[in-house]
């Protein structure tokens, strides 16, 4: 009955070097989860940050207002709390503060139990020459696949 929801941040792998991945739960209201189940969400320009109490929040994640929502509808660009183990939170916070890394969301999905989850990654920003190298590798792979297809 339920279709699979898989909202991805396509620019993340191009702009960042992924170091470590985690799966986090999200604290949502009723209209937010309904919009996500209708695939009305975007994590393209979002990032994660810690508050002063050591809690992790996703910032700039867009969840469109629910079409059939009324007075109790949510704000589209609200910050939403992420749920991780205390050990994982401390490790991430230490990495972000000491080495200047960034936490970015990679994928928003609904698991088997019907709960919204967010795959986040500890990442380092790529330099311009790294991005050029990524483009070059992608073009070379595409050309090689074309040549293989011709000679099969």
3-class SS of residue 58: strand
Tell which wins on pLDDT, 2 or 8. 8
Domain of residue 80 covers: 6-126
Asked if pLDDT for residue 90 goes beyond 80, the answer is yes
How far is residue 67's CA from residue 25's CA, in Å, rounded to a whole number? 24
Q: Give the model's pLDDT for residue 14.
A: 87
pTM above 0.85, yes or no: no
Element (H, E) at 133: helix 128-150
d(CA 3, CA 144): 35
Does the residue 76 lie in any domain? yes
Distance CA 15, CA 130 (A): 9
Rounded CA gap, 56 and 17, in Å?
21
- Say if 57 falls within a structural domain: yes
> Which carries the bigger pLDDT value, residue 134 or residue 1?
134
The answer to whether position 148 is within a domain reads: no
* Domain contains 131: no
pLDDT of residue 2: 54
Q: Would you place residue 71 in the very low, low, confident or very high pLDDT band (cuts 50, 70, 90)? A: confident
CATH number at residue 89: 2.40.280.10
Domain count, the chain: 1
Residue 129 pLDDT greater than 90, yes or no: no
- Residue 84 resides in a domain: yes
Indicate whether 1 pLDDT > 70.
no
Phi and psi, residue 75, nearest 5°: -85, 135
Q: Is residue 1 part of a domain?
A: no
The answer to whether position 140 is within a domain reads no
**pLDDT above 70 covers what percent of the chain?**
99
Using CA atoms, how far residue 69 sits from 4, 40, 72, 107, in Å, is: 22, 14, 7, 25
Residue 86 counted as domain residue: yes
Give the DSSP H or E segment for 34: helix 30-37
């Amino acid at each position: 009955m339920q279709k699979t929801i898989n909202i991805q941040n396509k620019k993340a792998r191009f702009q960042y070097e992924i170091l470590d991945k985690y799966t986090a739960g999200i604290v949502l209201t009723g209209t937010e989860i309904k919009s996500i189940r209708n695939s009305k969400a975007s994590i393209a320009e979002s990032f994660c940050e810690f508050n002063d109490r050591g809690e992790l929040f996703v910032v700039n994640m867009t969840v469109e207002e629910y079409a059939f929502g009324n007075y109790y509808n949510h704000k589209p660009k609200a910050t939403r709390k992420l749920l991780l183990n205390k050990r994982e939170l401390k490790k991430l916070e230490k990495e972000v503060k000491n080495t200047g890394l960034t936490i970015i969301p990679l994928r928003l999905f609904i698991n088997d139990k019907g709960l919204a989850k967010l795959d986040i990654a500890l990442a380092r920003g790529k330099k311009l020459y790294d991005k050029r190298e990524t483009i070059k590798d992608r073009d070379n792979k595409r050309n090689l696949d074309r040549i293989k297809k011709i000679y099969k």
